[in-house]
Structure formats: structure tokens, C-alpha cells
Amino acid sequence: MQLDLTGRRALVTGGGSGIGAAIARALGARGADVAVHYANSKDGAETIATELAAAGRRSIAVGGDLTDAAQASAVVAAAAEHLGGLDIVVNNAGHLVGRATVAEMTDDHWARVLAVNVSSSFYVTRAAVPHLEKSTAGRVVLMSSLASENGGGAGSVAYATAKAAVVGFARGLAKELAGSGITVNALAPGFIEDTAFHNTFTPEAAQKGIVAGLPLQRPGTVDDVAGAVLFLASDLSSFVTGQVIDINGGANFR
């Protein structure tokens, strides 16, 4: 059995930069046609779509605010129309938004973090299910985080809560969609270097401290996450559903 995604049609949310960009490129390299969603990274998404098209893949960059149900549905519809359907949906879009303690947190901050990380995945997946049900190899991959297990760093209560909710969503959805042959799994990355997340919210000294404490003694890379997506998107994982794969260098053991 080989990791061959030729002919598979994938939507990657938040695919214009960082982990999402690595996932989109990895799927394309294995033969998949890819719709690259973006919210703010339009140039990055269009660059990746152009690269994939030049390599012979069907690809499109499609923008939208996934915290809005109508826009999320439109993104899915555009992806399915351009690719001729969907087999793989990678709900990568998410964000810490900002650090805030519970005592100082506003209602708007709490709602925004849950919307960006949980509601967006729900809206996209709900819109994609009718397309995935027509596939012979439907796959949904959701993005959780190490924060869902250890509570995250300072000021990350809302984010940790949201990412824990993603795990619950993945497991419940896995049961719901199993009868249609669709698998649903989640990833829980730990410290991944050179991402906007840590470059924005984690000071350099703290980053070095995190890496020094990892059993593998190196930071994770965007390709480490992309590799796990390739596994979950392929036939290699056809009997794997409702699971969470930790990608954290040994920082935490489930």
C-alpha cells in the first residue's frame, strides 16, 4: 500500500501560510488536487495554487471568513465546484487571537476564540459532508493542539478550551459519519517553529526554553504536521477514525 493521493480532491483551510501551506503543498506533491483557503494570506494562497497548477494539479485559492456560516459554505462550494467534488477536508484554520486571563477576558474575546477555532470547523465540515458522502474515501482532519491537553501557556484558557472542543467534535463526528465510510481525526501539534502563532505570541527566550525541555530536543516543523495529514488523508489510515495524533516531540503523553 502506497501513500498515493492521485485524483483525490482536498480543501485546506488557512492554507496560505505556515502549517496550512505545508499541508497544501504536501497533498499536491502526493497527487491531490487542492483548494487553498485563505482569510488574510491571499498572496500566499495564490502562490501555492499557482505552484500546484504548474505541477499538473487542479488548484484554486479561495478566500472567506470561516466564522461566518454563509462564507464558509461559499468556500466549500467554490472548492467542490472547481475540483469536481471533495474527498479530503483539512480544517487547519485557527488562531490564539490574543493572550488574556479569565479575570480580564472580555465576552468578545471569548466568543472570537471559539468562533475562529471551533465554529469555523463546524461550518466548513457541515457544508462539506454532502460532498464527502459521495466520495469513496472521505476524510476529515481537524486541528487541535497540545493546549487541549495541558491547558496551554499563560493567557490561553480560551484557546485551550476551544482546542479541547475540537477533539470532542472530532470524536462525535467520527461516530456520526462512520456509516458513510468517512473517517474523522484530529491532530494536536505542540511547539512548531517558524509559524505566525509562536512568532507573534511566544517570546524568543520562551521558545528556546520550550525546545530545551522536549525529549526529542528539537522544535517541530510544519512538515512534521503535514506528514501526519498525509497519513490521515490516505488509504494507510482507512481503519483509523475518532483519534487524536499528538505531534509534540514528547512534550506530553496522552
What are the residue numbers of the active site? 159
The DSSP bridge pattern shows strands 33-38 and 9-12 to be parallel
Those residues whose C-beta lies under 8 Å from the C-beta of residue 194, and which sit 6 or more positions away, are: 18, 221, 222
- Half-sphere exposure (CA, 13 Å, Cβ side) for 102? 4
Those residues whose C-beta lies under 8 Å from the C-beta of residue 32, and which sit 6 or more positions away, are: 5, 6, 7, 8, 9, 10, 57, 88, 233
User: How many Å apart are CA 145 and CA 130, to the nearest integer?
Assistant: 27
Q: Give the Cβ contact number of residue 250 at 10 Å.
A: 12
Structural contact between residues 116 and 67, judged by C-beta atoms closer than 8 angstroms? yes
Residue 22 exposed, middle or buried by CB count within 10 Å (0-12, 13-18, 19+)? buried
Amino acid identity at 1 = M
3-class DSSP assignment, residue 37: strand
Which contacts (CB < 8 Å, 24+ apart) does range 48-56 have?
48/15, 48/16, 48/21, 48/24, 51/25, 52/24, 52/25, 52/28, 55/28, 55/29
3-class DSSP assignment, residue 238: coil
